[in-house]
Amino acid sequence: KREVKAIEQVVEKEMNEKEIKSIDKEEAEDPMTFYSLPALVFQSVKFCQSNHSHYVMRIRRIGGFVPRCWFNCAVHGSSRIMIEQKKDEKSCIFPTTPISELQDRSFPKTSACLVIGDEILNGKTVDSNSGFFAKFCFDFGISLKRIEVIPDKEEEIIEAVRRFSNNYDFVVTSGGIGPTHDDITYLSIARAYNLPLNYHQPTLERMVDTVQCIPSHLKTLESKPTKAMVEAKHRMALFPHPSRVIYPDEKLWIPIVIVNENIHILPGVPKLFKALLTGYSKYIKGDKFVRKFVKTYYPESFIAPILTEAQEKVKDFGVKIGSYPEMTDDNRHVVVVSFLAKDNAVTAEVVEKISKEVSEKIDGVIIDI
């Protein structure tokens, strides 16, 4: 019993480390990859002997009902347990869009983010995508001009995308591209430009391949979808035509769909939004920003004249100075002053010089954020 208990603990530990889920008898026939536990763990118990079958049953419970036929006994009585490792991630790797396909595009200087979803406006979901997009734009020197949240209403989506597309170089939408009735972003943007909706065959194929990669022990309704379920899922590959379809992430079947050359349609699920946008970064080249921060405990009213004077000095260099009051954990008032400009040899030197000058006048310290 002590030996079996020790084995149970080893099996549990191994399964947790390998993130192996429950498995069933039918899957034993599939040509999968296996993980092996050290043979020496099982030397003390000879599983092939019928009088130890109750030990096997206990191990089966620990191993997620591992079939007994998976216990292979060696000549000297030692054994190893082989636990199914579900399909390797490499089997779900998709090709990404070549960088050359977007080389004809000019670098965007301005951007805007349109967040679409009733769940944002009614407080059910807290939007994090726009904040991620703001950091993305900053990293590439793109000036983010507007973030707007609108409901899942066709007329509002149409008005907003037209306005954004006319006024900004790089427009990103977030949300409304799922399989349900209220996911109307593709439809609304198509109508905004009098475009038809067409099924995109490469996306449908990637969608099907993704289902094949789902481990069989996790497949539920996916294995026996109804006609309505298939139609609903295929709606996610019904894009405005013509459009550019970009696959920036090799692990996702979901693309970024580009309409009217500058409207980039992304999902609202934060993990997907961030993965696609991160992957899209390889298609963008631009001038980055240079920025310095100075922290002071002087009140904002005290430093305001100093900042006004400093801004006047550097405005011709494109340096922008801003102040942001905050509250520390110990309830002290603090002001963070930002010095921001496009990064080049001249502005970098100007930002360095003016930030030090202001820091001395307001008894501040230069910090990293």
The pLDDT tens digits for 62-120 are: 444 333 333 333 333 333 223 333 444 445 789 999 998 888 788 899 999 999 999 99
Q: What is the CATH number of the domain that holds 361?
A: 3.30.70.2520
The whole-angstrom separation of Cα 298 and Cα 364 is 8
**Section 341-362 average pLDDT:** 93
The SS3 of residue 280 is helix
Looking at residue 32, its pLDDT comes to 32
| Vertex 118 angle, CA 112 and 121, to 5° | 70
The CA-atom distances, in angstroms, between 108 and each of 105, 141, 147, 278 are 9, 9, 16, 16
Specify the pLDDT at position 101: 87
Q: Does residue 258 sit in the same domain as residue 154? A: yes
Angle 300-314/345-361 helices, nearest 10 degrees? 150
82 and 107 belong to one structural domain: no
Q: Which of 283, 299, 319 is the last residue of a domain?
A: 283
Confidence of residue 352 (pLDDT cuts 50, 70, 90): very high
Q: Between the CA of residue 133 and those of 94, 111, 252, 282, what are the distances in Å?
A: 24, 10, 19, 15
pLDDT tens digits for range 321-347: 999 999 988 889 999 999 999 888 889
What gap in Å lies between CA 27 and CA 217, rounded to an integer? 8
Mean per-residue pLDDT, 26-45 = 36
pLDDT of residue 171 exceeding 60: yes
* pLDDT at res. 4: 63
Kindly state whether residues 120 and 193 are assigned to the same domain: yes
Helix (H, G, I), strand (E, B) or coil at 21: coil
Query: 53-62 and 2-18 are packed helices; what angle lies between their axes, rounded to 10 degrees?
Result: 30
Same domain, yes or no, for 267 and 306? no
Which residue range forms the structural domain that includes residue 48?
Answer: 2-86
Q: Are residues 142 and 250 in the same domain?
A: yes
- Both 115 and 72 in a single domain? no
Structural domains of the chain, count:
3
Sign of CA dihedral 361, 362, 363, 368: negative
Q: Which of 18-32, 94-108, 197-211, 253-267 has the lowest mean pLDDT?
A: 18-32
Q: How many residues does the chain have?
A: 369
Express as a percent the part of the chain with pLDDT over 90.
62
Say whether both 211 and 183 belong to one domain. Answer: yes
Do 148 and 246 share a structural domain?
A: yes
Say what the pLDDT of residue 268 is: 98
